[in-house]
Amino acid sequence: MSQLSSSNEWGNYTREWLFNIQSFFKHPVVWIGTYRRDNFKSDLISSLTIAIMLLPQAIAYALIAELPASVGLFAAIVAALIGGLWGSSFHLHTGPTNTTSLIVLSGLLAVASPGTPEYILAAGVMAFWAGIIRLLMGVARLGILVNFVSDSVVVGFTGGAGILIVANQIRHIMRVEGVSSASFFATTTNLFQQIGETHLLSLELGLGCILLLVLFKRFAPKLPTPLIVLGGATMLVWMLRLDKIGIAVLGELPRGLPPLSAVPIFDIALIRDMAPSIMAVAMIGLIEAASISRAVAARSSQYLNSDQEFVGQGLANVAVAFFSGYPVAGSLTRSVVNYEAGAKSQMSSIMSAGWVLLAMLIFAPAAAYLPRAALAAILIVTGIRMINHKEARRILRSSKGDSAVMITTFVATLLLSLEFAVLTGVLASFAFFIVKTSMPTVREVLPTDDFKHFFYQPDKPGCPQLTVLSILGGLYFGAAPYVEDMIRSHMDRNPDQKYLLLRMQRVNHVDISGIHMLETIVRLFRQRGGDIFLVGVRQRVYEKMVLSGFDKFLGTNHFPDTDEAIPYIFNHFLSPAVCVYSCPVRVWQECQSLPKSNKDIDLPEGFDVGHTQQVPTIEPHAFWKRLKSFSDLKGMEIIDIREPAEYDQGHLRVAKSIPMSNFFNGQVDKLPRDRDVVLICRSGRRSQQLAHYLLEKGFDNIFNLEGGMVALELAALPKGGERT
């Protein structure tokens, strides 16, 4: 029967998995089938706005990777089309990005020389396998994994990448010899060595373009500044024939659809050499796509499917690999502009691909006069803007852990190859997450003045018998030792607190290591004569406790309701003698009605553990019967051990008042041994403790009135003249 059940579960799981895969790839059919025609105008206008940005960016970003401008344009067209069709976000725009281009450069330089056919084919191989990784993560519903990579990794990496982009593009403004490098120090060293060979006209053109870009951004931010600057610089070169006197130009672009290319996707040696870069491109692309789409969705209120977005990103990269492109990702600037331009759906991204293709077919010859210095100027400004000063300062102010991750990633980006810089940042992020989750907050909480809530109040004195600790985090193998250390440390500081109440409302996970830790703590408290109790245990955590047998080990009555926990522990476990004679504070609401002795009494060692001991008792009805028989009274001594103030408020006339404290300074010897001694208090708990103490002293004629004076009243016994 169990095998059949297991087979059915696997069958259901397989069918669900196949259905999910089918839904991922049918996504375009679903959203196009529900597309609203009244959104077309908004999507059309926003697509044109994006295309105006995308055209110069596609060329410029390809040049960052030392790839032909045509490769950037082909990637832009195919990625915008496929990413739009299979993506989840209405506004995320997929295509060439500066960060991805820089990682691509680092990976390609390790396997080929820029400008060679092998270099371009390697870019396609990188795009294909990075796409496969993203696609598999989406299909396997592993999109949640990128949530464990801190945003500080992206801030640190993009800041370092921006500096690298600036360093690599300065040589194009200077028009000096050299090749792009992912090493900041190698690039800057080369620049200083060749500073005397600077081509002044190229430098002037580049600096002029930078100035225009800054001014336009300051005074006319809504204009397509990069396109205007590139168009103006191109016209200037064409009119003055500056290409004839040393200004480097881009060269004419191909006119036509993105061509198919035979990419050696199974070249094992090539894949092995680029594996770190492929993984870095895949991971950074996923992190960017997830963070960008979330940021825009926060403004548009769209519900996102991260796994579907990963599928779209994966398919876009696989497609560009076979259409002469290179790795692509989600673009922050284009996505934000897409939203602000009024895009209503992914149709905007799809139509932007059409506009870029049309522009390439019409304006390709003009690229023959497009100055390289102008493109470098755009990339330098872009690189500077990649350094997010505002967010970096915010991280530095708010979190030491995030600050460490950001700085580590930033430094690694400048010192290491970019794929290892990404890996360093991801590992630092995971390390920070592990450290943070392995050290959950464990702190003592006390009730507020109205006894309705519990808060951390370090300046408020606690109860000498009971401590309440709140655990804020999971009890898994990484956190259990730390939590145990915190509890043990609290025990060492407060050796008299023999009872522990653990508030578990914020514990959402427990494993066998956590169970073992709790069992150890239970043993420690029970060895010192106390116990522990758990409140607020979540259902799935309690199920683990039941399956492991911990619930029976602790005792099912040790899981009280949250609101009843303190009254239950107070009335059944805490020593009222300690409350009356040793405790100077009133922590719990139940303490408020207890009297406080004005005597400074040191209770005998072990006196406060008598709550579990069985002592001879007499029930209220039986006691009343003996009171009515004067003959029985002659063989019985009745002693009220309450404080004088309690005794004066009401007592049995036949009861002698001897406060409990008197039994510790010589009164014990005065107790009669030839007749029964009945001890009375308010609820029977103090008298139970004293009875146990006297039994230990050798008295065998001691009885405790069960329930005390409260029990007499609840039983509605007729007091007559017996009670005054």
pLDDT at residue 723 above 80? Answer: no
Question: Does residue 379 sit within a domain?
Answer: no
Give me the CATH number covering residue 630: 3.40.250.10
Task: Report the b/e string of 424-452 with b at 16+ CB within 10 A.
Answer: bbbbbbeebbeeeebebebebbbbeeeee
Least Cα distance to 366 among 475, 461, 233, 469 occurs for 233
181 DSSP assignment? -
Residues 336 and 452 in one domain: no
pLDDT at 202: 93
Worst-scoring range by mean pLDDT, 30-39, 245-254, 353-362? 245-254
Q: How far apart are CA 722 and CA 651, in angstroms?
A: 9
Q: What percent of the chain has pLDDT over 70?
A: 90
Q: How far apart are CA 565 and CA 579, in angstroms?
A: 18
pLDDT at residue 611 above 60? Answer: no
Contact assessment for residue 660 and residue 580, using Cβ atoms and an 8 Å cutoff: yes
Residues 633 and 710 in one domain: yes
- Grouping H, G, I as helix, E, B as strand and the rest as coil, residue 641 is coil
pLDDT at 130: 96
Is residue 602 very low, low, confident or very high in pLDDT (cuts 50, 70, 90)? low
Q: How far apart are CA 140 and CA 111, in angstroms?
A: 31
pLDDT at 440: 92
- Grouping H, G, I as helix, E, B as strand and the rest as coil, residue 396 is helix
Question: Does residue 617 sit within a domain?
Answer: yes
Specify whether 681 is catalytic. Answer: yes
Residues 333 and 445 in one domain: no
Residues 458 and 340 in one domain: no
Is residue 428 very low, low, confident or very high in pLDDT (cuts 50, 70, 90)? confident
Looking at residue 483, its amino acid is V
DSSP per position, 234-279: HHHHHHHTGGGGT--B--PPP-SSPPP----TT-HHHHHHHHHHHH
Worst-scoring range by mean pLDDT, 304-313, 344-353, 398-407, 627-636? 627-636
Tally of domains within the chain: 3
In 150-199, alpha helices (H): 151-174, 184-193
Contact assessment for residue 422 and residue 452, using Cβ atoms and an 8 Å cutoff: no
Structure tokens at 214: 């800054």
Residues 291 and 259 in one domain: yes
pLDDT at residue 206 above 60? Answer: yes
Q: How far apart are CA 443 and CA 447, in angstroms?
A: 13
Structure tokens at 271: 């894949």
65 DSSP assignment? T
Q: How far apart are CA 417 and CA 415, in angstroms?
A: 7
Mean predicted confidence (pLDDT) in 254-263: 84
The CA–CA distances, whole Å, from 686 to 442, 616, 692, 706, 722 equal: 33, 14, 10, 11, 23
610 DSSP assignment? G
Q: How far apart are CA 707 and CA 681, in angstroms?
A: 8
In 65-116, alpha helices (H): 69-86, 98-109
pLDDT at residue 260 above 90? Answer: no
Q: How far apart are CA 702 and CA 692, in angstroms?
A: 9
Question: Does residue 624 sit within a domain?
Answer: yes
pLDDT at residue 398 above 90? Answer: no
Q: How far apart are CA 126 and CA 135, in angstroms?
A: 14
Question: Does residue 517 sit within a domain?
Answer: yes
- Grouping H, G, I as helix, E, B as strand and the rest as coil, residue 369 is helix
Q: How far apart are CA 497 and CA 201, in angstroms?
A: 82
Q: How far apart are CA 312 and CA 89, in angstroms?
A: 10
The CA–CA distances, whole Å, from 192 to 178, 183, 198, 343 equal: 12, 15, 10, 46
pLDDT at 2: 44
Q: How far apart are CA 96 and CA 93, in angstroms?
A: 10
pLDDT at residue 77 above 50? Answer: yes
Residues 289 and 348 in one domain: yes
Question: Does residue 482 sit within a domain?
Answer: yes
pLDDT at residue 666 above 70? Answer: no
Q: How far apart are CA 471 and CA 369, in angstroms?
A: 67
pLDDT at 298: 66
Q: How far apart are CA 19 and CA 46, in angstroms?
A: 34
pLDDT at 345: 93
pLDDT at residue 599 above 80? Answer: no
pLDDT at 720: 40
Contact assessment for residue 432 and residue 150, using Cβ atoms and an 8 Å cutoff: yes
Give the distance from CA 411 to its chain's centroid. 24
H-run or E-run covering 500: strand 499-503
Q: How far apart are CA 176 and CA 196, in angstroms?
A: 9
pTM for this structure?
Answer: 0.64
pLDDT at residue 625 above 60? Answer: yes
Give me the CATH number covering residue 537: 3.30.750.24
Phi, psi of 278 (to 5 degrees): -60, -45
Q: For 439-472, write each residue's pLDDT tens digit.
A: 999 999 999 888 888 989 988 888 988 999 999 9
Residues 192 and 333 in one domain: yes
pLDDT at 147: 67
Q: For 670-716, write each residue's pLDDT tens digit.
A: 788 888 899 998 888 888 888 888 888 888 888 999 888 888 777 65
Strand 466-472 vs strand 441-444: parallel, antiparallel, or unpaired? antiparallel
Beta bridge partners of 95: 329
| Residue with tokens 């820029």, as numbered in its chain | 114
Q: How far apart are CA 234 and CA 345, in angstroms?
A: 34
H-run or E-run covering 194: none
Contact assessment for residue 648 and residue 708, using Cβ atoms and an 8 Å cutoff: no
Looking at residue 613, its amino acid is Q
Phi, psi of 470 (to 5 degrees): -105, 130
Is residue 9 very low, low, confident or very high in pLDDT (cuts 50, 70, 90)? low
pLDDT at 620: 87
Mean model confidence pLDDT for the chain: 85
pLDDT at 719: 46
pLDDT at 17: 56
3-state helix, strand, coil in the chain (%, to 5): 65, 10, 30
The domain of 714 spans 607-722
Q: For 315-361, write each residue's pLDDT tens digit.
A: 999 999 999 999 999 987 788 878 877 899 999 999 999 999 998 88
Structure tokens at 88: 């989840």
Beta bridge partners of 330: 94
Neighbour-count burial of 239, counting CB atoms closer than 10 A to its CB (0-12 exposed, 13-18 middle, 19+ buried): exposed
Which of 48-52, 152-156, 485-489 ranks highest by mean pLDDT? 485-489
Q: How far apart are CA 94 and CA 325, in angstroms?
A: 13
Residues 510 and 412 in one domain: no
Residues 644 and 688 in one domain: yes
pLDDT at residue 182 above 70? Answer: no
Q: For 276-314, write each residue's pLDDT tens digit.
A: 999 989 988 888 788 778 767 767 778 778 888 899 999
Question: Does residue 660 sit within a domain?
Answer: yes
pLDDT at 4: 46
pLDDT at residue 213 above 50? Answer: yes
Residues 404 and 483 in one domain: no
Question: Does residue 170 sit within a domain?
Answer: yes
Q: How far apart are CA 625 and CA 633, in angstroms?
A: 10
Which of 553, 574, 595 is the last residue before a domain boundary?
574
Question: Does residue 237 sit within a domain?
Answer: no
pLDDT at residue 665 above 80? Answer: no
Q: How far apart are CA 135 and CA 492, in angstroms?
A: 54
DSSP per position, 416-448: S-HHHHHHHHHHHHHHHHHHHHTS-EEEE-EE-
603 DSSP assignment? P
Residues 510 and 647 in one domain: no
In 323-399, alpha helices (H): 332-340, 347-363, 372-386, 389-398
pLDDT at 434: 85
Q: How far apart are CA 428 and CA 173, in angstroms?
A: 36
Task: Report the b/e string of 317-328 with b at 16+ CB within 10 A.
Answer: bbbbbbbbbbbb
pLDDT at 416: 81
Contact assessment for residue 276 and residue 283, using Cβ atoms and an 8 Å cutoff: no
- 270 vs 662: which has the higher pLDDT: 270
Phi, psi of 532 (to 5 degrees): -130, 160
Q: For 363-377, write each residue's pLDDT tens digit.
A: 878 778 889 899 889
Q: How far apart are CA 310 and CA 131, in angstroms?
A: 9
How many residues in total does the chain contain?
724
- 608 vs 232: which has the higher pLDDT: 232
Which of 556, 574, 592 is the last residue before a domain boundary?
574
CB proximity list for 448: less than 8 A, separation 6 or greater: 454, 455
- 529 vs 599: which has the higher pLDDT: 529
Residues 428 and 449 in one domain: no
Which of 528, 553, 574 is the last residue before a domain boundary?
574
Contact assessment for residue 145 and residue 69, using Cβ atoms and an 8 Å cutoff: no
